[in-house]
Copies of this chain bind each other. A is one copy, B any other.
Amino acid sequence: MTKNCINVGLIGCGVVGTGVANNLVNGTAQKRHLPCELKLKRIADLYPYKERAYKLPLDLFTTNADDILNDPEIDIVVELIGGCGIARQVITKALENKKNVVTANKALLAEYGPKLAALAKENGVDLYYEAAVCGGIPVIKAVREGLAADTIKSVRGIVNGTCNYILTRMGKDQMAFDDAVKAAQQNGYAEADPTFDLIGKDSLHKIVLLCANCFGSWVKPENISTEGIMGLDQIDIRCAYELGYAIKLLAWAKEKDGKLECMVAPTLIDKSSMLAKVSDAYNAVEINGSPIGRTVYYGEGAGMDATSSAVTADIIDIARNIYSGSVGRLPVFALDKEIEVVPAPDMEMRYYLRWKTDDKPGVIAALSNVLTERNIGISSVILHEFAKAQPYSIVTFMTRETKEAKIKDAISELDKLGCIQSKTVMLRVESGF
């Protein structure tokens, strides 16, 4: 069973792939006492000659992934192509060929996770994916191993570095949304087309994987209410700050009365909380378990270096399994129950509502009447002083816990009021983590 050299094949040598290849070729990955040799045997990429951040031996390259997938000497296939197309074929074939797989592909796993996990099990190989959720934070390992004795009550995280960078610039530097997006692009924190991050899709994929590990249940992405930060107004960052909150794009889930509440949305969180302190492109995940209590894991969310660390740690983990004959030691996802997901309209949260209104008497009364008629409790009303020189008013309400259906019904009524100059802005407020 024991092998003295574990061979790795890397498919997809872009930014992260280059980092991983460098880790393996330069041997830093082996420093931490792996009992066997770890060898990068082959790299498949369509562009062997393109310029990369690290120089890699050209003779490792092939343009044909099958040179790796069909090589009987290769023990671990690292898929870093991304997306649900070729990557899916590559991983499927690798597993079918009884090769262990390491991937950072959250989109693919969120869509096909249970199928791929079953395929891995069927073929008696490992499928590791630490890098798929917050590259520079070993949070999958923390949940499924470090917290193995715990029942997880809730998980919430800032899991998208692009959005967090934008929100940080909007908060600290009072930038407008568009300017903050540009700043993110100029600093390499956002893609040329950052839509995927901004609409919350990337965060959605990560919370699916976190849910599987925290709750032992597979939540389909389409069952998770998802809102991004697209077009968030600087005014709301400011109003939230005055109310004692930071706005963060949160992906969260919690068990409540045997059901699961799960959501991705820009959310007001207490300024003094650990998560509110997470700035720039950093990520953090907070997990509340029993008996362990509240834990937080913080680090860089993405980028070549942080992500390559996670991928390489997975390779080392699997290499240990191969060496010690314990492949399959951990289930890919330990799914053992189906938890009903509470539909968004039935979820109870607190809400932040904001309007630009006419500057005239009766506005606050008109707004609050709509809520009072629906029995929605209000915990804060502010007509904001900072807009005093303007020909309009800025008004915010904070509600007490209310079902989303109820608040949405109220909003449709509020938006009909003659005294408001812009439609209601509604944001969630954290509660009960």
Chain A contacts to B: CB under 8 angstroms: 19, 23, 28-29, 31-34, 130, 136-138, 141-142, 144-151, 216, 272, 274, 277, 284, 289-300, 303-306, 308-310, 312-313, 315-317, 320-321, 324-326, 328-331, 334, 336
Contacts and interface: CB of A to CB of B under 8 A. Distances in A.
A304 B313 CA distance: 31
B291 A308 contact: yes
A312 B313 CA distance: 24
B149 A336 contact: no
A32 B293 CA distance: 17
B330 A320 contact: yes
A129 to B, nearest CB: 13
A348 to B, nearest CB: 27
Given A295-B299, A296-B296, A321-B326, 19 more contacts: A23-B291, A28-B149, A28-B150, A29-B148, A136-B295, A138-B146, A138-B295, A141-B141, A141-B146, A142-B142, A146-B313, A148-B313, A274-B274, A293-B300, A320-B329, A320-B330, A321-B329, A325-B326, A326-B326
A286 to B, nearest CB: 8
Contacts of A145: 138, 141, 145, 313, 317
Contacts of A330: 320
Contact of A334 (B32, B291, B298): B32
Contacts of A324: 324-326, 328-329
A292 B136 contact: yes
Given A136-B295, A216-B32, A326-B326, A149 B274 contact: no
7 smallest CB-CB distances across A and B, nearest first, come from A138-B146, A149-B312, A326-B326, A291-B305, A324-B326, A33-B334, A295-B299
Contacts of A334: 32-33
Given A145-B317, A148-B316, A325-B326, A306 B331 contact: no
A100 to B, nearest CB: 14
A274 B274 CA distance: 7
A288 B330 CA distance: 28
Contacts of A148: 29, 32, 34, 312-313, 316-317
Contacts of A296: 284, 296-299
Contacts of A317: 145, 148
A137 B304 CA distance: 26
Contact of A19 (B291, B295, B326, B336): B291
A327 B338 CA distance: 33
5 contacts: A28-B151, A31-B151, A32-B334, A141-B145, A150-B309
A142 B296 CA distance: 13
Contacts of A284: 296
Contact of A295 (B31, B137, B294, B308): B137
A149 B329 contact: no
B295 A331 contact: no
A326 B329 CA distance: 9
Contacts of A149: 23, 28-29, 32, 308-309, 312-313, 315-316
